[in-house]
Structure 1
Amino acid sequence: MKCCDLITGAKVPRFIGGIETQLTVLAKGLVDEGCDVSLIVYDHGQRPEEIVDGVKVLKAYGLSGGIRGLRWIDRAKSLWAAMRRADADIYLQMGAGVETGLVGLGCNRVGTSRRHFIYCLASDLDYSDMLSRGRLGWEGKAYLWGLRRADLVVAQTERQRQGLQKAVGVNALVMPMAAAAHPVSTAPARNGEHNFRRVLWIGRPSKEKRLDWLLELARRCPEFQFQVIGTANSNTEYETRVLGEARQVPNVELVGRVAGQDMHAVYQNGRILCNTSIREGFPTTFLEAWSYGLPVVTTFDPDDIVARNGLGRVSCTVNDQANALRELHADPEVYGRISQAAKSYYNENHAISAVSRRFRLAFDVMLGQRQPVNECAVYV
């Protein structure tokens, strides 16, 4: 079986976000499941084709160049050319955008017969704001056109499935995404009092992620050290202001962008992951933190998974988050119980092997190689 993941939305090498991380992990897992996997990415100066960890990486178009309003013609041609080089049975794309429509159309153009198309929701925005995005809503229309032509739509949560059905009448299958497990290390884990008080905040300092909440939390909890990982994608008034404020808070450290291979040390030396977002999809950072046994203190709880499975604390106010941090720090027994639950939940639901196996089963059903099985839709 040949399948192709498309991460043309990845601004490589400027940043790697949740979509790019999850698709890269899934691609490697599908190789282990016996699939012939290609990744299509932006052209950032690399060779046209490379092999990385058994995955064929094909470049499509660059981020710049072309006449605004007309550049998508050249980009579509470049994307479809990369799809032809992949020559896959199934094309999988994640994250709402013009690419969704282009991939849906491309599946009719890459061979003598139509190829299968899978679309994966990345965020709750995929069934709300993205439907009207772009000038005169053209990007949202292109996205919806492709969405309706997908042979299978995958949601990460039941909330996403219901939201998509209500918004546009499209059915989705709920399947969890994967995150890479932490590497085996002989280094001491979270040693020292300083590390035991380190709270991680990972993401873009955009308005919907509310870094300003974290700054207020840091002011109320001077006994903790808050480490902010990530950089702004643009220079909005909010991002400029909040990063300036962060530099004035003594117990906040702005680390900036961290390469994927260096995130192990970040999680290894953290104590708790804090999330202050208004809304998300299913944060990859949650999965990564749980693989290390880190509890999450969060304002966003996808499908109430954190609360139902005892994976941290859900807090609706800054004051509640402060209380949660102090509770987890003060009671080693509670912390240990949550830490173990987090590791178990990750291993059972989001380990690469488990998720890749579910996707492989879904692929087999799509290609008529086996009967549908409930395992494809398991989500705890």
Structure 2
Amino acid sequence: MDRTIYFISPKIREFLSEDPGSAGGAERQQYLLANELRKFGFNIGFITASGNDQLRSDGKFEVWESCPVKAGFSISFVVEFLKFLHSLYVTDADYYYVRGLPRIAVVTNLVLSLLNRSLVYCIANESNINQKYLYSHYSKPFLWAYFWMLSSATIVSQTESQAKSLREDYGVDSVTIPNGCEITPEVEFESSSKSLHVLWVGRIQREQKRPDRLLDIAEELPDVSFELIGPLDGEDAYCDRIVSRANSLENVVYSGFVDPDDIYSKYVEADLLLNTSDYEGFPNTFLEAWQSKALVVSMYYSFDNKLKKFKFGHQAPGIKKTKEEIAKLANKNLSESKGRAREYVINNYSISNIANEYAELFTQSSDKWT
């Protein structure tokens, strides 16, 4: 009997639309995973936000435009929320998958428990399980429901550190499945420039991604070229300052949003990917950079402390140390390390292998729920 999986994500409609707009790594990861899981015989659907743009009509997925974006007390939100509950009832899928999005996950879990169905919840990043963050952003009644969801749903962690935190802080066992990467054909690129080229990819926002740190470094390394890629996704004033500063620096280019299908050419042209985030889950950008033979310098995210072990990954906490690390790499021959980076991703993180792990999880979960 065919099994059906529904991915619940308000922003994935941007990736399903004819014009992807500001679709991010989380949406791309779910879209890639959905396509791979179809090869295992699963029927795939999406519950996403409503919108005016045209969705892709390739017939591969069933799409319900009923996922709330922001909570509120307006009539439009109430109507949208009721449509969301209706879609959960009518779709009658075998599995529902939510990545991050604590509020949507809690509501989904409550409804599915009444319908005698179960949720697969994937930890998106450390903020989903960091107790200090949770207690500062959510009410206690909500957190009671959230903690109950963690204990009743099937939980997927992306890293061993997330699995450890779930186990020690919440008494919750999880299945660790990392992100996967679409392996593209190898492309050789010979730059005409002798300067190091550093790429930054992510949403332009202050709370997590902190692109302002890249600009601080760029100001002190005028001989290194930097490219900033990503949609504006934060406070207007902050985004305006980032774009203005980037345009004022001769060694920085702000390229805005780049279609996910075109992003690999940017990685191929880069020597380094710089990550300036306060926290991450499991960055797609690391895998995309490595498979394109770009090295990674991360300011704070440690990749389960693996960056210290790999010569194609470097961790340098703080602006000063990051600047020094980039300056040091600018004077090195990086070709050998770049080759090892691509080989590592192919052997460990191809999306086909990751989808196989999810297929096993959904099959085992089906046995448990029936």
Normalising by the residue count of structure 1, what TM-score does the alignment of the two structures yield? 0.84
Shift of 1:322: 3.0
Shift of 1:240: 3.6
Q: Which residue of 1 aligns with 2:285?
A: 285
* Contact persistence 1:348–1:354 (CA under 8 A): no
Amino acid at match of 1:324: E
Listed one character per residue, the Cα deviations across residues 279-331 of structure 1 (whole Å, up to 9, x for unaligned) are 11111111111121211011121201222233321112334323333443433
SS at match of 2:308: helix
* Contact persistence 2:47–2:65 (CA under 8 A): yes
Among 76, 84, 93, the alignment partner of 1:88 is 93
SS at match of 1:144: helix
Shift of 1:141: 4.8
* Contact persistence 1:306–1:312 (CA under 8 A): yes
The answer on 1:205 being equivalent to 2:204 is yes
Among 149, 166, 179, the alignment partner of 2:152 is 149
Amino acid at match of 1:18: G
Q: Which residue of 2 aligns with 1:192?
A: 191
* Contact persistence 1:197–1:329 (CA under 8 A): yes
| Structure 1 gaps, min length 5 | 370-380
Query: Hey, what's the Cα distance between the residues in 2 that align with 1:62 and 1:166?
Result: 32
Q: Which residue of 2 aligns with 1:302?
A: 303
Shift of 1:5: 1.4
* Contact persistence 2:68–2:84 (CA under 8 A): no
* Contact persistence 1:267–1:292 (CA under 8 A): yes
* Contact persistence 1:153–1:171 (CA under 8 A): yes
Amino acid at match of 2:83: S
Task: Give matches, 1:335-346, under 5 Å.
Answer: 335-346=334-345
Amino acid at match of 1:24: Y
The answer on 1:233 being equivalent to 2:233 is yes
| Structure 2 gaps, min length 5 | 15-19
Identity value in percent: 24
Among 88, 102, 106, the alignment partner of 2:107 is 102
Query: Hey, what's the Cα distance between the residues in 1 that align with 2:218 and 2:25?
Result: 25
Considering only aligned residues, what root-mean-square deviation do their CA atoms show, in Å?
Answer: 2.8
Q: Which residue of 2 aligns with 1:220?
A: 220
Q: Which residue of 1 aligns with 2:135?
A: 132
Q: Which residue of 2 aligns with 1:252?
A: 252
Query: Hey, what's the Cα distance between the residues in 2 that align with 1:16 and 1:145?
Result: 30
Q: Which residue of 2 aligns with 1:177?
A: 179
Amino acid at match of 1:279: Y
* Contact persistence 2:9–2:48 (CA under 8 A): yes
Amino acid at match of 1:41: T
Query: Hey, what's the Cα distance between the residues in 2 that align with 1:257 and 1:21?
Result: 14
Task: Give matches, 1:352-363, under 5 Å.
Answer: 352-363=351-362
CA distance change for structure 1 residues 73 and 320 in 2, over 3 Å: closer, same or farther? same
Q: How many residues align?
A: 358
Among 19, 22, 26, the alignment partner of 1:19 is 26
Query: Hey, what's the Cα distance between the residues in 1 that align with 2:287 and 2:144?
Result: 32
Q: Which residue of 2 aligns with 1:58?
A: 64
* Contact persistence 1:195–1:271 (CA under 8 A): no
